[in-house]
Structure 1
Amino acid sequence: MTTTYPDPKGYYAVLGLLPGADLAAIKTAYRNRAKQVHPDRNPSEAARQEFQAIVEAYRVLKDVVYRAEYHATGVPPLVDDGDDYPATPFACSACGKITVQPRYVIFHQVKSYLVWAKRTREEGIFCRDCADRIAARNSTVSWLLGWWSFPGLILTPIALVRNLFGGTKPKDQNARMLIRQARAFLALDEIDLARALTEQASRFARLSVHSRQIEQLRAETGQGGRRLKNRWALWNGGVFFAQALPLVALPLVLGVGALIALKPWEPPMAARAGISVQAAEIGDIRYVAIEDLKLRQSPVDGAPVLTLLDRFTTVQVVDVTSPEWAQVRTPSGVVGWVTRRALYAGTSALHKQEWCAQNPGSTPEAGEVLIRRATGEHRLLIHNDGRRDAVVKLKTLGGHTVAAYFVPATHHIGVGGLPDGTFRIEFASGSHYSRACGVFTQSMQAALLPFTLTYHQISAARLKAATTIPEIVLVTAPGDPKQPQPLDTDQFARDD
């Protein structure tokens, strides 16, 4: 709640404020009013007197203890840290109730605006209950609005930690305030309360004048008597734990997020920096982790090579009697020996997809020849009216790739240099083509056209006079009898 106070000396009025305005409003009003009536700008006698009144009002209202005295007694302080004291105790500046154990506290708040952050302070002399509510309010605003800029990432944790530990309590102001509060209760013959407040003031006292006043109060209040429970201990009430819980949970949430992102429970995948490997055991399903692994006839470096295994070929371990070698069976049934450090656990599907995505290479040009294993004099037109890029392969009836071309979406290209023979036509479409793997890493689909393409040897004269060039269309209309037949993507990726 907002508490208003009487203004017997007109300090708030001279600044153009309502009684009870906060410190930020007081400072702003003083700067604006002082500029208007400063003697350098307005030499009149009336302006000089108004300027002196503004300075006097600001001297009292800018200081939290002086302002509290003015609110409590209606009388401005006589001298700085003097022996005068108010006739009534200070009240909480939030709820307006007299509090036995007041504190001058500053709470912090941060709001972010994408590229910058605004820090504000809420301060006053508070009772513990009001301080808890104000701390919770400022921390909640900072949690919700403080993180959304780079400065906010730094300022918000600082504000939250300060509020968590009860806000900022300036020592000199709290010593002055508690000494004057002790004097007020002493004037009311509340000796025990005055004595307790004196001891609380001693924890803040740093200046010699405050130490002298505390010793004087101790002499007047004596020793012993009833002790007050410290209302400002952190563990009093649940607000400290309510603010601490999200701060404790934050690193846990970040840690869980990091675990989800890094997935340390999954086996590491092959990357450009190298391949991570594990020892193989009999019966394990493994995949080849290096390019062109030599499958040898026996576990010796110089043994004859049976075949070369491509990276990510899945094999089954048959024997591991040698510490450096493992006997494996390939998908085609060939059994031979490979070095154990070249195998990694599991099948290759997920790891191959991730590796291919990380090693895309440069994007092919329209009509670029990706593979050419034979040449000739024939030509072909390829139409890709779809919205996804495509790779078209001409394969022999035995499944060997003769040529492969890259056809971007909505492109129509002509290719040449095709040899004699009968070819079946396979194509794959998708996005983000990887040269390293010869596949699309996103939304890849493969198909086989339901016809073959045959080229015959003809004379140079007839070839020169030919005006008809064969054409193939990758995207056909629904109901067209020449609809492509679905094809397994792994089968499409295999060239031989």
Structure 2
Amino acid sequence: MTTLARDPKGYYAVLGLDPGADAEEIRAAYRQRVKVVHPDRDPSTRAREEFRRLIEAYAVLKDVIRRAEYDSGMPYEAGDEGDFTPLPVACGTCGSLTAQPRYVVFRTVRSYLIWVKLGHLDGIFCRDCADHAAAKASIVSWLWGWWSLPGLVLTPLALLANLFGGIKPRRENTRILLRQARAFLGRGDLVLARSLVEQAESFARSPEDQARIAALLRATDGAAFGHRRRLKSRWRPGGRVFLAQALPLLALPVTIAIFALIVTRLWDRPASTVSPIAIQPATVGEIRHVAVDGLKLRMAPLPGAPVLTLLDRFTTVEVSTSTDNPDWVGVRSPAGIEGYVETRALYAGSGARFKTEWCTDNRGPPPIAGEILSRRVSGDHRLLLHNDGRRDGVVKLKTLSGSTVLSVYVPATFHIGVGGIPDGTYRIEYATGARYSRGCALFIDGMQASVLPMTVTFHYQSATANRSLTHIAEVWLSPQSNAGPRPLPLPPDRFASDD
């Protein structure tokens, strides 16, 4: 059964609205109309009468309870008793009569970067319309509430309040339920009337409301005996709309935790421990690699024993001999030299993979074109370097004994002149590749090293020598068709052996 809103006293007509107008439209119409008929603007008797009617209409329609009573066609003021029988209160949204109407306020939050606007959707609802209003208010808050610092706090609070049925003011809901109880009592439905009175008891706080409840309970005593049809409350949380609102809220902490994990990057933090390092004993035939720079390979498993050679970091060795002392172990170097080293200086596995990881972590900033990576001595001579290939390169001038005098970075397609070369005879080595690592003096990706099968000699010319006879040496990193001898391959470790 439904009831249509009516306008028995013409209150909607005074504001120029239809009976179905919402609260915002009523406020806007009142503000606009009061400017026209205010006595300060129009002192006529007709204007004063319209102003009085406007104030009376707005006082009723702005109050959701009084408006519901007015729409029912028979207003019922608090304190009216006796033979008065009101009409049942209808849902303010769909207009249907419901045995359990509630006045509910749903919160909305709108953020504007630095400030927040709090709003609400309120009215007298049946349960279905209340669910729809809660979903609408929550959607507004989800879309607009998060975009400011206050909104990050207020939005979850509003969403939780809407999830559990909104805010139900006690005084208004007591009045609604008591009116509804009197309406059904007037129709002779004692069971339904008593159930509504009992629901009103949970809201009532004032002595006046409690006195009216007591009177209605006495009037419905006949429904308290025998078989009784109880009215189940429809306002407990649950249903599809509740689930639709709850799922995003349940996912919110998980989303925040994932975002915090991404920001803090906990997986990149080194694990700390206070436990001592456990040194595993080495077995004969096991492959290990050197974990420190300049590890001394000694003739005997003693700290003061003569040194046979120095082993660079990441050098792969083979365990050849076990000792009585677990702190020392006999190894064979890649060059075939056998000796003893401290066990704690060796890590399990080949050093190639660990070296690549270390070189990547210590790559440093990429070199610029023509950057001198190392220089040990200086002079007056010059050298032209040509890199016509598609891979970056590093050129080294080494003495015949293998010491690097100069190292320079030559990117792909660059032609660079290098000065400051001293007198002497040098062997020229170069390497090409991608992603140069300053920590290892090597290319991480696709490195290829070569050595020219000839030497270059620089010597001083006297000031009286003919400058036209001066020749500037040139080096090509890519083979030339008209060139003589081609470069020879060189192991990458040997290329970086003295860096």
Contact 1:328–1:338 (8 Å) recurs in 2: no
The reply on whether 1:122 has 2:121 as its aligned counterpart is yes
Deviation by residue 1:191-211 (Cα, 9 ceiling, x = unmatched): 222222222222222333323
- In structure 2, the residue matched to 1:424 is 429
Which of the pair has more CA radius of gyration? 2
- Measured at CA, do residues 449 and 342 of structure 1 come closer, stay the same or move farther in structure 2, by a change above 3 Å? closer
Provide the rounded CA distance (Å) in 1 between the counterparts of 2:162 and 2:489: 64
- In structure 2, the residue matched to 1:249 is 251
Amino acid at match of 1:226: R
- In structure 1, the residue matched to 2:204 is 205
User: 2:216 is paired with a residue of what secondary structure?
Assistant: helix
Quick one: which of 68, 83, 97 aligns to 2:80?
A: 83
What displacement does 1:354 show?
Answer: 6.6
Q: Percentage identity across aligned positions?
A: 47
Matches within 5 A, 1:337-356: 337=341, 340=344, 348=354, 352=358, 355-356=361-362
- Measured at CA, do residues 467 and 29 of structure 1 come closer, stay the same or move farther in structure 2, by a change above 3 Å? farther
User: 2:419 is paired with a residue of what secondary structure?
Assistant: strand
What displacement does 1:156 show?
Answer: 3.2
Quick one: which of 389, 392, 395 aligns to 2:394?
A: 392
- In structure 1, the residue matched to 2:6 is 6
Provide the rounded CA distance (Å) in 1 between the counterparts of 2:270 and 2:121: 53
- In structure 1, the residue matched to 2:374 is 371
Provide the rounded CA distance (Å) in 2 between the counterparts of 1:70 and 1:256: 53
What displacement does 1:64 show?
Answer: 1.6
- Measured at CA, do residues 137 and 427 of structure 1 come closer, stay the same or move farther in structure 2, by a change above 3 Å? same
Provide the rounded CA distance (Å) in 2 between the counterparts of 1:402 and 1:229: 95
User: 2:362 is paired with a residue of what secondary structure?
Assistant: helix
Amino acid at match of 1:165: F
Amino acid at match of 1:457: F
Provide the rounded CA distance (Å) in 2 between the counterparts of 1:382 and 1:275: 53
Amino acid at match of 2:396: L
Amino acid at match of 2:421: L
TM-score (norm 1): 0.73
Contact 2:319–2:332 (8 Å) recurs in 1: yes
Contact 1:425–1:452 (8 Å) recurs in 2: no
Provide the rounded CA distance (Å) in 2 between the counterparts of 1:274 and 1:484: 51
Matches within 5 A, 1:63-82: 63-73=63-73, 75-76=74-75, 78=77, 81-82=78-79
Contact 1:269–1:355 (8 Å) recurs in 2: no
Contact 2:108–2:141 (8 Å) recurs in 1: yes
Amino acid at match of 1:65: I
- Measured at CA, do residues 57 and 351 of structure 1 come closer, stay the same or move farther in structure 2, by a change above 3 Å? farther
What displacement does 1:123 show?
Answer: 2.0
TM-score (norm 2): 0.72
Provide the rounded CA distance (Å) in 2 between the counterparts of 1:15 and 1:486: 97
- In structure 2, the residue matched to 1:229 is 232
Provide the rounded CA distance (Å) in 2 between the counterparts of 1:392 and 1:97: 86
Provide the rounded CA distance (Å) in 1 between the counterparts of 2:25 and 2:213: 34
Provide the rounded CA distance (Å) in 1 between the counterparts of 2:304 and 2:21: 92
What displacement does 1:98 show?
Answer: 0.9
- In structure 2, the residue matched to 1:62 is 62
Structure 1 unaligned segments of length 5 or more: list them: none
- In structure 2, the residue matched to 1:101 is 100
Amino acid at match of 2:245: Q
What displacement does 1:226 show?
Answer: 3.3
Provide the rounded CA distance (Å) in 2 between the counterparts of 1:228 and 1:485: 98
What displacement does 1:341 show?
Answer: 9.4
Contact 1:277–1:342 (8 Å) recurs in 2: no
- In structure 2, the residue matched to 1:240 is 242
Deviation by residue 1:51-109 (Cα, 9 ceiling, x = unmatched): 33332222222222112112222x5555xx44367721111222221111122222234
- In structure 2, the residue matched to 1:163 is 162
Greater shift, 226-235 or 21-30, is seen at 21-30
The reply on whether 1:176 has 2:179 as its aligned counterpart is no
Provide the rounded CA distance (Å) in 1 between the counterparts of 2:491 and 2:117: 58
